[in-house]
């Protein structure tokens, strides 16, 4: 995946833009910073997902490219997102999220492999799992491609049913 990632701090008074996009895995809630970078992609019932706040501005304008790419992804015509994103977290989380960006379409990796990619010890697998679970950019940042070391389909903030649908869509053989 190629994303232009910026980690800028935003003022608490900055406007958050949002829209909903229909998809085969349910409605997607997208948020963006005033500068246009995608800041989150959530699904209904997502653990830690976002919901529109009263002071957010609903405007599909900043999301045209994200919507175009998501439509192409679900149509099977796009394998790598190329979007400007801005997701901030701890340095550790950002390192894990960057490793997720490198997991190719149709492939899976284990939590231990992600830990190794970022130079974390094997004992950090739980922390890696926590960082993956906190990924604010579902689908675009492919945390659904992370599985257990034994090949099991372990947790997914968007729900295991969605994880199965996304992996099946990408042609990943499931256990």
Residues with active-site annotation: 143
Q: What phi and psi, each to the nearest 5 degrees, are found at residue 63?
A: -110, 5
CA distance from start to end of the chain? 25
By CB atoms closer than 10 A (0-12, 13-18, 19+), residue 174 is: exposed
74 closest CA partner among 172, 173, 165, 174: 165
- How many whole angstroms separate alpha carbon 125 and alpha carbon 104? 20
Burial of 31 (0-12, 13-18, 19+ CB in 10 A): buried
Angle between helices 91-101 and 125-133 (to 10 degrees): 80
């Amino acid at each position: 995946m190629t994303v232009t990632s910026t980690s800028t701090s935003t003022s608490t008074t900055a406007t958050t833009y949002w829209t909903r996009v229909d998809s085969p895995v349910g409605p997607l809630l997208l948020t963006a910073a005033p500068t246009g970078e995608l800041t989150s992609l959530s699904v209904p019932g997502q653990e830690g997902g976002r919901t529109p706040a009263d002071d957010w501005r609903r405007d599909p304008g900043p999301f045209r490219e994200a919507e175009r790419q998501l439509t192409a992804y679900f149509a099977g015509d796009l394998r790598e997102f190329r979007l400007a994103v801005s997701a901030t977290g701890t340095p550790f989380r950002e390192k894990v999220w960057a490793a997720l960006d490198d997991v190719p379409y149709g492939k899976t990796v284990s939590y231990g492999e992600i830990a190794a990619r970022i130079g974390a010890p094997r004992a950090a697998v739980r922390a890696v799992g926590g960082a993956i679970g906190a990924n604010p950019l579902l689908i675009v940042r492919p945390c659904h491609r992370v599985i257990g070391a034994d090949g099991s389909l372990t947790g997914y903030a968007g729900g295991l049913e969605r994880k199965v649908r996304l992996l099946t869509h990408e042609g990943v053989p499931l256990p």
